[in-house]
């Protein structure tokens, strides 16, 4: 059976000078295999991932793996504990306003200068080992910088140091009111049919601050550089994903078990599990390129009934939402219907019924294609 260990990583310190730490659950198999890193709840209100990790821990206690799996539930102890009345305000670092999933580091110049040191005869294992050491050194330099960095960035870089050791990185999130969807880098598109997630967003090799991008951009860029400038094609075997496991502020144990099996199915396809009978489900999967994943902003403020449910297939002109304007109850303008600008699948919508103008009301798949 797997070896198990548990330790704690300090990721922040509160105003009383007390360390705030996260648990690291590590399972190591007796056979070699990929290293896997899975974290949840970097956004404090997005809690379903903790149930998914709970189910993964139960599974990993019973079944052998190849390689190593590290699990970091509730990886943002600051964000989880920022409540305002009934709600968790876990999206932004309260001190600096930074999104908790935008403070990771990617240094393109480091990738380019490293690529120039790769010799024609150097093995992939050696390239990976040297590259990891350089990136982790760079992360430590950023953490140790004499002028310091913000709270979110400190926490992000400490987690990124762990994640960059892995071949497979999975960052579990939730939408506001949302159906399940996954962000997949274009080069790893085969993974789309291994997860049991019905909505897939293919993303380019572009860094915007998130953990999945901070993981795959360096490797993808390194492979591209070596191909273009040195005529060498290498398979680095690193993949990273953001999984959106339904709506924030709620957990569901039954769905969490399904979500865990979805991750296990993908891990099995990558050779991480020893003799496990876990495969992808035969479900309908729809995919878009990132630029076809569109946000519908409100022109008006008011009180909204959300008519289209996440995951529904909506035709152009069909009603998405109905808005009540309390300033015009005695006139024909008391209500207004917001309709779909084109055929679409709403993936998530704003969680509150009261909205200001310019609110991100829905995020939708447009020009989608059916994958399976
Ligand atoms: Zn999130």
What CATH number corresponds to the domain at position 336? 2.40.50.100
Is residue 186 domain-shared with residue 303, that is, in the same domain? no
In angstroms, what is the span from residue 135 Cα to ligand 1's centroid? 25
In angstroms, what is the span from residue 245 Cα to ligand 1's centroid? 10
In angstroms, what is the span from residue 42 Cα to ligand 1's centroid? 7
C-alpha distances (whole Å) from 238 to each of 30, 143, 166, 212, 213 are: 21, 24, 8, 11, 12
Question: Which of 283, 304, 328 corresponds to the end of one domain?
Answer: 283
Is residue 62 domain-shared with residue 38, that is, in the same domain? yes
In angstroms, what is the span from residue 36 Cα to ligand 1's centroid? 20
Is residue 126 domain-shared with residue 154, that is, in the same domain? yes
The domain total for the chain is 2
Is residue 172 domain-shared with residue 300, that is, in the same domain? no
In angstroms, what is the span from residue 360 Cα to ligand 1's centroid? 15
* Predicted structure pTM score: 0.97
In angstroms, what is the span from residue 270 Cα to ligand 1's centroid? 25
In angstroms, what is the span from residue 299 Cα to ligand 1's centroid? 25
Question: Which of 232, 263, 283 corresponds to the end of one domain?
Answer: 283
Residue-level pLDDT at 198: 98
In angstroms, what is the span from residue 112 Cα to ligand 1's centroid? 30
pLDDT in tens, the chain (372 residues): 899 999 999 999 999 999 999 999 999 999 999 999 999 999 999 999 999 999 999 999 999 999 999 999 999 999 999 999 999 999 999 999 999 999 999 999 999 999 999 999 999 999 999 999 999 999 999 999 999 999 999 999 999 999 999 999 999 999 999 999 999 999 999 999 999 999 999 999 899 999 999 999 999 999 999 999 999 999 999 999 999 999 999 999 999 999 999 999 999 999 999 989 999 999 999 999 999 999 999 999 999 999 999 999 999 999 999 999 999 999 999 999 999 999 999 999 999 999 999 999 999 999 999 999
Per-residue tokens: 319? 């009603």
Compute the distance between CA of residue 320 and CA of residue 239 in angstroms, rounded to an integer: 36
Is residue 327 domain-shared with residue 231, that is, in the same domain? no
Compute the distance between CA of residue 359 and CA of residue 344 in angstroms, rounded to an integer: 19
Closest CA relative to residue 76, chosen from 176, 154, 146: 154
Find the angle CA(217)-CA(202)-CA(70) to the nearest 5 degrees: 55
Question: Which of 231, 248, 283 corresponds to the end of one domain?
Answer: 283
Per-residue tokens: 341? 């600008």
Owning domain of residue 323: 291-370
């Amino acid at each position: 059976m797997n070896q198990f260990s548990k330790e704690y990583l300090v990721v922040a310190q509160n105003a009383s000078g007390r360390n705030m730490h996260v648990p690291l659950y590590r399972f190591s198999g007796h056979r070699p295999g990929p290293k896997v890193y899975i974290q949840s709840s970097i956004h404090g209100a997005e809690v379903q991932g903790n149930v998914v990790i709970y189910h993964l821990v139960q599974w990993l206690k019973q079944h052998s793996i190849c390689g190593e799996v590290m699990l970091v539930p509730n990886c943002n102890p600051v964000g989880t504990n920022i409540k305002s009345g009934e709600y968790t305000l876990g999206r932004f670092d309260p001190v600096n306003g930074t999104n908790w999933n935008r403070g990771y580091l990617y240094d393109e110049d480091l990738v380019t200068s490293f690529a120039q040191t790769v010799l024609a005869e150097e093995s992939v294992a050696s390239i990976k080992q040297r590259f990891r050491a350089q990136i982790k050194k760079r992360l430590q330099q950023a953490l140790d910088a004499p002028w310091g960095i913000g709270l979110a960035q400190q926490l992000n870089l400490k987690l990124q140091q762990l994640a960059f050791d892995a071949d497979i990185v999975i960052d579990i999130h939730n939408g506001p009111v949302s159906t399940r969807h996954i962000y997949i880098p274009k080069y790893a598109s085969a993974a789309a049919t291994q997860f049991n997630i019905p909505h897939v967003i293919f993303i380019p090799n572009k860094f915007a601050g998130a953990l999945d991008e901070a993981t795959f951009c360096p490797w993808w860029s390194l492979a591209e550089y070596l191909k273009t400038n040195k005529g060498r094609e290498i398979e680095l075997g690193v993949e990273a994903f953001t999984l959106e496991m339904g709506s924030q502020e709620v957990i569901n144990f039954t769905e969490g078990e399904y979500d865990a099996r979805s991750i296990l199915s993908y891990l099995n396809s990558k050779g991480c599990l020893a003799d496990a009978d876990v495969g992808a489900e035969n479900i309908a999967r729809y995919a878009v390129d990132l630029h076809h994943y569109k946000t519908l902003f409100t022109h008006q403020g008011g009180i909204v009934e959300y008519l289209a449910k996440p995951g529904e297939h909506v035709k152009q002109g069909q009603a998405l939402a109905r808005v009540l304007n309390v300033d015009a109850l005695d006139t024909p303008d008391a209500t207004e219907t917001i309709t779909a600008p084109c055929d679409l699948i709403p993936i998530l919508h704003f969680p509150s019924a009261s909205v200001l103008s310019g609110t991100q009301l829905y995020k939708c798949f447009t020009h989608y294609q059916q994958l399976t």
